[in-house]
Amino acid sequence: MKRVAFKMKLKPGFKQEYIRRHNAIWPAIEILIKSSGISDYSIFLDEETNTLFGVQKMNGDVSSQALGTEEIQRKWWDYMSDIMEVNPDNSPISVPIEEVFHLN
């Protein structure tokens, strides 16, 4: 199982809305993520910079950021695009973060 981390950017003032939307995550998105081999998925917020840090385990080569070929994923990205910094296709601007230390 591989762990990956990435960062995204939340628009200022949208912390509570981001939390609300993720607390009510669409069941189809949850199923897609889990069926793609992704588990132990967390997102953290650095409120000082509005940077979101995502960490997930992958059983395979597909991260949550690579699910854009799925219609439901594109709809979720459209739904989130008003509160996050996004690419022209509304996917979140996501930057991989290199792991430099891990203690198990």
Kindly report, residue by residue over 28-64, the tens digit of the pLDDT: 999 999 998 999 999 999 999 999 999 999 887 766 6
* CATH number of residue 72's parent domain: 3.30.70.100
- Asked whether residue 104 is assigned to any structural domain, the reply reads no
- Asked whether residue 61 is assigned to any structural domain, the reply reads yes
Q: If you average pLDDT over residues 72-76, what whole number do you get?
A: 94
Percent of the chain with pLDDT over 70: 95
Residue 66 has pLDDT above 80, yes or no: no
Q: Give the number of domains in the chain.
A: 1
- Asked whether residue 103 is assigned to any structural domain, the reply reads no
- Rounded CA gap, 48 and 41, in Å? 22
Question: Quick check: is 102 catalytic?
Answer: no
The residue segments making up the domain with residue 65 are 2-97
- Asked whether residue 65 is assigned to any structural domain, the reply reads yes
Mean pLDDT (the chain) is: 93
- Asked whether residue 102 is assigned to any structural domain, the reply reads no
Q: What is the structure's pLDDT at 26?
A: 97
List 3, 20, 22, 57, catalytic entry: 22
- Residue 25 has phi, psi (to 5 degrees) of -55, 140
